[in-house]
Structure 1
Amino acid sequence: MLTAAQVLAENNFGDTRTGGLAGPMGLFLILVLSAATVLLIRNMNARLRRLPDRFPTQAGPGEAGRADAVVADPTDRTGGQDSSPDVPTASEQRRNG
């Protein structure tokens, strides 16, 4: 009859010497992932170098939340339009006020 110690001490994992492919396969995966990382870093650095030093100024931090900010419409040649339909135009202000 087997004792509890003999059951726990028994090697149920098979021969550990066969199947020695795990080490080389792990090394291969590490090398592939390292090469991919290096190529991605080089690509992103090239893209960052192509960006301009400064972008055109946009609305300042104080003007970002204003509802009556004028937004330029690239398809319209008038130069800008109101971004909020609730804001009265100049002619409506003269008529009401």
Structure 2
Amino acid sequence: MLTAAQVLAENNFGDTRTGGLAGPMGLFLILLLGTATVLLIRNMNARLRRLPDRFPGQGLPADAGRADAVVADPTDGTGSQDSSPDAPNGREQR
């Protein structure tokens, strides 16, 4: 006759030791990723605090919001840039 303890102690699931490391390894990886995330956030906050409020030369002009504001000529009035067919491309410049 089987006692209640023997019935409860019987293993009906086969070999439970196969892959028994999956739970602890998953927990370790989650804790590792969480720690890395916290450290990265702290590092970036420290870097952002060290930045100046404004960078020199980046002030907004008075008419920056106007749609009819004059756009500066990037060629400084010298005409168009040279786009001759014999100009070197990206691979030939190196």
TM-score (norm 1): 0.48
TM-score (norm 2): 0.50
Higher strand share: 1
